């Protein structure tokens, strides 16, 4: 979207957008208001961004013009990364890893931070634990598989059979076709479940979780009955919403530098074709993220 070039305020940077990741919250916001933080249209969608610093506001010491950066500014409030330029708090960005081009870097922040915060903070699974990842081929899922494996966890990845070989290459010890397997038969009594699906998947996942284990659900809060069932079984059920997090972004960048984390790009579209990008991403079935690129 073409908009007036903004000016960075106190503690902000102005970024020339080279690529913007597409996330479920984007099309949900377009369709029904999503989290409801953007108010009524018109507004500019998008939170994932990778690009180059054009200018810095007063007080910024972390970056200078021409630096390559990536970030997830202002989430869940309007950031407007589907644009030519975007501003945001400097400490909600990091230098983009040299290993990643702009397109790959734009695929990482929101999904990567979601996976990182779910695994290391909400669940705190620890080395040697058994982690079950639903939607393991998706934007959050394929990154969660890599992060958990890098931290020494045993990973079971739930995904279509067509994606199993690739998930094993990313560190999954076991890959299971969710379309034909009951969760209770996938190696029950896991320590951590990362649920990117929600609904009945959340309820079924409780059966695969050991007492004392943690299920982190991402699409939305579970209903009261499911929460009560988890509590009665001595299991932790949490809904988590990702937050801007420079420390987490730095940790993700370090994993990239150590060749332990690589975001997968399923498809790219020019910014003008954001509608087509949404349709593809919303249909599902891809491996990794859909990304918009500057023309």
**pLDDT at 44 exceeding the cut of 90:** yes
Report the pLDDT value the prediction gives residue 185, as an integer from 0 to 100: 46
Average pLDDT, the chain: 93
Q: Is the pTM of this model over 0.85?
A: yes
Output the pLDDT for position 217: 96
- As a whole-number percent, the residues of the chain with pLDDT over 70 amount to 95
Q: Which residue has the higher pLDDT, 125 or 178?
A: 178
Write down the pLDDT at residue 50: 98
What pLDDT digit, counting tens, does each position of 166-200 carry?
Answer: 999 999 999 999 776 655 545 458 999 999 999 88
Strand partners, 87: 14
Q: Does the structure show a pLDDT above 80 at 85?
A: yes
Q: Nearest-CA neighbor of 143 among 283, 271, 289, 295?
A: 289
Tell me: the pLDDT tens digits for 211-235? Answer: 999 999 999 999 999 999 999 999 9
The answer on pLDDT for 291 being more than 70 is yes
Tokens of 192: 């951590």
User: Span 3-32, mean pLDDT?
Assistant: 93
Dist CA 27 CA 107 (whole Å): 16
Shortest CA distance to 165 belongs to which of 186, 192, 136?
136
Which structural domains are found in the chain, ordered by start?
12-108+263-293 (3.90.180.10), 110-239 (3.40.50.720)
Least confident of 38-42, 51-55, 76-80, 115-119: 38-42
Determine the Cα–Cα distance for residues 41 and 96; give it in Å rounded to an integer.
31
Sign of the dihedral through C-alpha 116, 118, 122, 124: negative
pLDDT at 256 over 60: yes
pLDDT for 34 equals 81
pLDDT of residue 33: 83
Cα separation of 236 and 22, whole Å? 30
Please give the average per-residue pLDDT across 87-111, as a whole number.
Answer: 98
128-172: pLDDT as tens digits: 799 999 999 999 999 999 999 999 999 999 999 999 999 999 999
Query: Span 239-246, mean pLDDT?
Result: 97
Is residue 3 pLDDT above 70, yes or no? no
Q: What is the pLDDT of residues 92-102, one digit of tens each?
A: 999 999 999 99
């Amino acid at each position: 979207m073409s908009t007036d070039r903004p000016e960075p305020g106190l503690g902000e940077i102005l970024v020339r957008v080279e690529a913007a990741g597409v996330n479920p919250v984007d099309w949900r916001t377009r369709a029904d208001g999503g989290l409801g933080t953007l108010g009524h249209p018109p507004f500019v969608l998008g939170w994932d961004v990778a690009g180059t610093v054009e200018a810095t506001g007063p007080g910024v010491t972390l970056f200078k013009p021409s630096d390559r950066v990536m970030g997830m500014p202002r989430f869940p409030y309007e950031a407007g990364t589907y644009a030519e330029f975007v501003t945001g708090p400097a400490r909600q960005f990091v230098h983009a890893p040299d290993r990643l081009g702009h397109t790959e870097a734009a695929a990482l922040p929101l999904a990567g931070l979601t996976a990182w915060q779910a695994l290391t903070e909400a669940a705190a699974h620890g080395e040697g634990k058994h982690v079950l990842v639903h939607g393991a081929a998706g934007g959050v899922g394929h990154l969660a598989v890599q992060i958990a494996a890098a931290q020494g966890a045993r990973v079971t990845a739930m995904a279509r059979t067509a994606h199993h070989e690739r998930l094993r290459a990313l560190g999954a010890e076991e890959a299971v076709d969710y379309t034909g397997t009951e969760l209770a038969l996938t190696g029950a009594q896991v320590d951590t479940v990362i649920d990117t699906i929600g609904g009945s998947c959340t309820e079924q996942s409780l059966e695969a979780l050991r007492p004392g284990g943690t299920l982190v659900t991402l699409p939305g809060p579970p209903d009261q009955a499911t929460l009560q069932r988890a509590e009665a079984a001595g299991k932790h059920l949490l809904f988590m919403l990702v937050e801007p997090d420079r420390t987490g972004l730095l940790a993700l960048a370090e994993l990239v530098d150590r060749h332990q984390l690589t975001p997968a790009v399923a498809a790219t579209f020019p910014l003008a074709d954001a509608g087509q990008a949404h349709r593809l991403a919303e249909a599902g079935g891809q491996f990794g993220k859909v990304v918009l690129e500057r023309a």
